[in-house]
Amino acid sequence: MNSEKTILPQFPLSIVAFPGEVVNLHIFEPRYVQLINECKNTGMTFGIPPFNNGEMSFFGTEMKLTDLSKVYPDGKMDIRTKGMRVYQVHKFEKQFKDRLYAAAEVTFLNDEPEFELKLKSQILDLMTELFEMLQIKKSLEKLATDFGSYAIGHHVGLSQDEKIRLLTIRSENQRLEYILNHLKDFVPSVKKAETLKKRAAMNGHFRSLQSPDF
């Protein structure tokens, strides 16, 4: 972990943003209008710490403003941002100095990017099975090309708590193992649910069944 602490403006949201992810936001609260205007004018970044079950996570993702898509007459705006680095919160201030928005003392976390290639094929096989069962049309080709725990993190059925857990793991290999173990449990449970759903759909209907020849 990088021990150097820095001040980072905070924008708590009920989402988990991953490094490399593009996040589109509609900005309407005055404090965040102020924040985004400062980002536009100075190039500074801000953090999104996930807000879940009434609590703010002590881990978040640094976000960079990449596009100001639209500014409305009342000052509201539509923006595009991109996830940069994961950080850990040490001290949180609800209002930073004379600003309207919050800020926190954070450290940016180092990462171990290497992973075992066998994890990729195992995960993609399970994702293919999952997508087919749920009739998800999204192509796996792009996910396979840009493969990584953060690239697939929103597509494997992780809960909000599990996505936050993913942020706390500092090894790509361990993150992929975490996703693989999740899929090994999740895919059979989905398969069972689909079987029960089909069985329930048959009940109460007239059925033409072939009697076995015995």
DSSP string, 29-46: SHHHHHHHHHHHHH---E
> What would the pLDDT profile of 67-83 be if each residue is shown by its tens digit?
999 999 999 999 999 99
For 152, half-sphere exposure in the C-beta direction (CA atoms, 13 angstrom radius) is 30
Residue 23 to residue 8: CA distance in whole angstroms: 18
pLDDT reported for residue 206? 47
pLDDT reported for residue 208? 43
Positions in the chain whose pLDDT score sits under 50: 205-211, 214
Question: Are the beta carbons of 23 and 59 closer than 8 angstroms?
Answer: no
pLDDT reported for residue 77? 97
Comparing CA positions, the residue from 128, 170, 126 lying closest to residue 149 is: 170
Domain ranges within the chain, ordered by starting residue: 5-108, 117-202
pLDDT reported for residue 30? 96
* Helix segments in 50-148, DSSP class H: 117-134, 140-145
Question: Are the beta carbons of 60 and 167 closer than 8 angstroms?
Answer: yes
pLDDT reported for residue 3? 66
pLDDT reported for residue 119? 98
pLDDT reported for residue 209? 46
Distance in Å from the first CA to the final CA of the chain = 70
User: By three-state DSSP, how is residue 66 classified?
Assistant: strand
pLDDT reported for residue 4? 87
Q: Which CATH superfamily is domain 5-108 in?
A: LON domain-like (2.30.130.40)
